[in-house]
Amino acid sequence: MQIYDLIQKTRRTQPLTTEEIHYLVKGFTSGEIPDYCMSAWLMAVCCQGLTDEETLQLTLAMRDSGECLDLFGIGNITVDKHSTGGIGDKTTLLIAPIVASCGGYVPKMSGRGLGFTGGTIDKLESIPDFSVELSREKFIQQVKTIGCAVISQSGNLTPADKKIYALRNLTATVDSIPLICSSIMSKKLALGADCILLDVKCGNGAFMKTPELAENLARAMVTVGKLAGKQCRAIITNMNAPLGSAVGNALEIKEVLAILQNRKTNALSELVLTLSAHMLELSGKGNLQECRNKAEKALLSGKALEKFGEMIAAQGGNAAVTEHSELLPESAVKIPLRAKYSGYLSGIHSEKIGLACLALGAGKTAVRNEIDYGAGVEFFRQIGEYVQEGEILCEIHGNSEMLCEQAEHSLQEAIQFSENPVKEEPMIFGII
Ligand code: URA
């Protein structure tokens, strides 16, 4: 088999055979196929796409490039959730305890911040002493006894994805549906949960900017999940504005706690109840309405908050944060951002907010390898509300006046006003 011929075939939209795809992934992971050949093939995929069968085989070859977890020891139907990346996305931190307190089993491996998007693992690490690394045995045992565990994607899971992803990042081949699909689904299949709920983000703060693209990605992932024998569903959700009111690691944990303590309800809490209901339904806990009722009860009764505390304690963290959010890290400087105009708040551009938070220190960059866990932005007003010029819209948290003032400038650019009332956008664009 010649790699040259495989590149040529994909370039000419001639489907590769199963053997050819497995040869390509194996060869690249082992180092036999050089970066320049793989880059050329990835670019051919970006330009010409792959068939469903090729996408499935690529996903399976990537899954089989490393370790696959055996979740049999949990002894129950397990359910995983994946969000395709967004701003202020703290859904996993709410869903895992809600679903677990309704009798679901959630083994969750999450990622760190990527580009302008935040990562669940960075958020959890803002909780004092919380460990995101557990041995396989401890991970399985914790899910079995408590119902949920959230750890980082460590170990030898899908090494092919790690290598291919790094190359895609350098060769402008990230935004290809078959490549995103195989990257995400290979990790989901290697983790091995029985049911998978995919939260496909759509909008200016997501990789998929339009509903059509999000739908194509959702369909591709659900097709692969089902062909691989999983209960799989995708929900396309709105990422045209940050999710909830906080962006930044510890600030997001504070928002999670406010929701779990029933001190706050917003579009995020509503979305989380919907996603939890779908996860419970997929794992056979009743019909969608029954599962929704269960999820609401778990939230309102405080059971989900208790479960979050159990999970924090089991992973070595200080569970007192569930009652005392002042134990979470805080940045040294906080400055208010005031409305430049009077009018209806008509847009908060999530990608720009994500980039401003990154610059404040909420994520790692090429030049800064440390995270300021307290950094970020907390919004006090929501899209659709009328605000007066000079009113405080949000608070900027950072470790110096200079950083906060720089962020103030870019945040002003992310906020739009309208003279007329604005129509509320739906949180859910579709279900596949
Ligand atoms: N997240 C992933 O894990 N892979 C992609 O390709 C894009 C987002």
pLDDT digits (tens, 9 = 90+) for 318-328: 999 999 999 99
* 66-104: pLDDT as tens digits: 999 999 889 899 999 999 878 899 999 999 999 999 999
Strands annotated E in 7-161: 79-83, 106-110, 148-152
Please determine, for residue 366, whether its predicted confidence score (pLDDT) is greater than 70.
no
Amino acid present at 284: G
Tell me, what's the pLDDT at 116?
A: 64
Q: Which atom of ligand 1 is nearest to the CA of 187?
A: 3
Domains of the chain: 3-63 (1.20.970.10), 72-322 (3.40.1030.10), 331-418 (3.90.1170.30)
For residue 163, the one-letter residue type is: K
**Judging by beta carbons within 10 Å of its beta carbon (0-12, 13-18, 19+), is residue 426 exposed, middle or buried?**
exposed
Q: Kindly list the catalytic residues.
A: 82, 161, 168, 183, 187
Q: Give the model confidence (pLDDT) of 139-175 as tens digits.
A: 999 999 999 999 988 778 999 998 998 898 788 888 8
Cα–ligand 1 centroid distance for 54 (angstroms): 18
Backbone phi, psi, residue 238, to 5°: -75, 125
CA gap 378, 400 in Å, rounded = 17
pLDDT of residue 87: 87
- Ligand 1 centroid, distance to 161 Cα (angstroms): 9
Q: In one letter, which amino acid is 23?
A: Y
DSSP string computed for 282-327 = HTTSS-HHHHHHHHHHHHHTTHHHHHHHHHHHHTT--GGGGT-GGG
SS3 208: strand
Report how far residue 393's alpha carbon sits from residue 423's, in angstroms, rounded to the nearest whole number: 20
- Average pLDDT of the chain is 93
Distance CA 381, CA 397 (A): 16
Please tell me the distance between residue 119's alpha carbon and the centre of ligand 1 in angstroms: 12
Residues in contact with 159: Cβ distance below 8 Å, sequence separation at least 6, in sequence order: 29, 65, 66
Quote the longest CA-to-CA distance of the chain: 68
Strand boundaries in 71-110, DSSP class E: 79-83, 106-110
pLDDT class of 398 with cuts at 50, 70, 90:
very high
Residue range 256-284: average pLDDT?
A: 95
184 lines ligand 1 (CB under 6 A): yes
Q: What share of the chain has pLDDT > 90, as a percent?
A: 83
Mean pLDDT of 326-332: 96
Judge if the beta carbon of residue 109 lies within 6 A of ligand 1: no
CA distance 432 to 430: 7
289-306: pLDDT as tens digits: 999 999 999 999 999 999
Contacts of 178 (CB under 8 A, 6+ apart): 45, 49, 50, 54, 55, 58, 220
Contact predicate 80/197, CB 8 Å: yes
- pLDDT score for 117: 67
Q: How far is the CA of 188 from the centre of ligand 1 (A)?
A: 11
**Binning pLDDT at 50, 70 and 90, where does residue 365 land?**
confident
**Distance (Å, whole) CA 116 – CA 414:** 14
Ligand 1 atom having least distance to the Cα of 179: 6
Distances (CA, A) of 388 to 117, 342, 419: 30, 4, 12
What's the order of all strands across the beta sheet hosting 415-418? 386-387, 343-348, 415-418
Q: Give the whole-number percent of the chain exceeding pLDDT 70.
A: 98
Range of lowest pLDDT (198-212, 216-230, 331-345)? 198-212
Say what the pTM is.
Answer: 0.91
Instruction: Ligand 1 pocket test: pick from 83, 181, 207, 224 the residue with the most ligand atoms within 8 Å of its Cβ.
Output: 207
Identify the burial level of 367 via C-beta atoms within 10 angstroms of its C-beta, where 0-12 means exposed, 13-18 middle and 19 or more buried: exposed
Residue 166's identity, in one-letter code, is: A
Matching residue, tokens 């969750």: 108
180 CB under 6 A from ligand 1? yes
What is the pLDDT, as a whole number, of residue 85? 77
Q: What is the residue with the minimal CA distance to atom 6 of ligand 1? A: 180
φ/ψ (deg, to 5) at 318:
-85, 100
Indicate if the pLDDT at residue 114 is higher than 70. Answer: no
For 159, the 3-state DSSP assignment is helix
- The CB of 85 under 6 Å from ligand 1? The reply is yes
**Ligand 1 center–CA 424 separation, angstroms:** 29
Q: Give the three-state DSSP class for 277.
A: helix
pLDDT value, residue 416: 94
Tell me the range of 8-22, 172-186, 369-383 where mean pLDDT is highest.
Answer: 8-22
- Asked if pLDDT for residue 115 goes beyond 80, the answer is no
- Of the pLDDT bands very low, low, confident and very high (cuts 50, 70, 90), residue 376 is very high
- Tell which one of 108, 174, 189, 196 to mutate to probe ligand 1, the residue whose CB is within 8 A of the most ligand atoms: 174
